[in-house]
Amino acid sequence: MSLARLELKSVSKRFGELEVLDDISLSVSRGEFVSILGPSGAGKSTILQLLTGALRHDRGEILCDGAPLESNSHRFAFMPQRDALMPWRRIIDNATLGLEVQGMTRAAAREKVQPLIAEFGLAGFERHYPSQLSGGMRQRVALLRTVVQQRSMLLLDEPFGALDALTRARMQRWLSGMWTHHNWTVLLITHDVREAVLLSDRIYVLSPRPARILRHYDISLSHPRPPAGDPMLSAIEADILQTLLTLEERPCRTFVPL
């Protein structure tokens, strides 16, 4: 049996008296698309900060390919909620930014990015500036900048949350197709139940803070997923929504004074 790409084993994190994560255990296999859902403030983004090295966990283990994750290992490519494109750089040079930060020359980085431009739907826009692109196209640039780094795993933090509903739906379908084609390994943070069901092989649901894994869903449907409104998808979405609504009815276990 092959090792998981990523494993969190009984991971906990607190900030002073505030306990944010409590005994979190989850795994992501190679080529798998996994999502984390939970109420606002549950600690979803804290998990990503632990993986990127911005924070250190207090207890437990974080393993990548079976070995402890080092804070400076740079095993993951991270895409934040906002596209974070540099307004003064053209699209081709925004896409190369991550490679340049790693020490690659701009010319070499452009050579690596150029073959992917058309596949990401950006052909003809290489010389444009971010302000000249739609929100969906900007997110494609941000994802291209992320995947071209060829890290072992992608970390996506609500990448489509700022888009309008129609553009978001289109981008979700596009991402599903790209993931299927490239066999990426992905961990997605999202508050969108439909997005999680559409994209994921497995979904972990967090409790309110301090977060625990309350439930996980294995989505056995093949890709591409059926269109919105399909009875099987709707049933899974309804089950997850009921779980989340039940969480909202419970009192939060940690009181934080204003």
Give pLDDT tens digits for 10-28.
999 999 889 999 999 999 9
Q: 253 in helix, strand or coil?
A: coil
Q: Give the CATH number for residue 21.
A: 3.40.50.300
DSSP state of 30: T
Mean pLDDT, the chain, rounded, equals: 88
Q: Within this chain, do residues 32 and 144 fall inside the same structural domain, yes or no? A: no
Range of the domain at 57: 1-75+155-258
* 76-126 confidence digits (pLDDT tens): 889 888 888 999 999 999 999 989 988 999 999 999 999 999 999 999 999
What is the C-alpha separation between 84 and 190, in angstroms, rounded?
Answer: 18
Work out the angle at residue 249's Cα, subtended by the Cα atoms of residues 247 and 250, and round it to the nearest 5 degrees: 70
Query: Element (H or E) spanning 111, and its range?
Result: helix 106-117
What is the C-alpha separation between 254 and 73, in angstroms, rounded?
Answer: 33
Four-CA torsion 128, 133, 139, 144, nearest 10 degrees: -20
Identify each DSSP E strand in 90-149 by its residue range: none
User: Domain count of the chain?
Assistant: 2
Q: Within this chain, do residues 68 and 171 fall inside the same structural domain, yes or no? A: yes
Q: Within this chain, do residues 175 and 68 fall inside the same structural domain, yes or no? A: yes
Q: Within this chain, do residues 71 and 91 fall inside the same structural domain, yes or no? A: no
**Mean pLDDT along residues 223-248:** 83
* pLDDT bucket at 161, cuts 50 / 70 / 90: confident
Under 8 Å CB-to-CB from 137, ≥6 apart: which residues? 121, 122, 125
Is the predicted pLDDT of residue 154 greater than 90, yes or no?
yes
Q: Within this chain, do residues 134 and 206 fall inside the same structural domain, yes or no? A: no
Under 8 Å CB-to-CB from 151, ≥6 apart: which residues? 74, 75, 76, 77
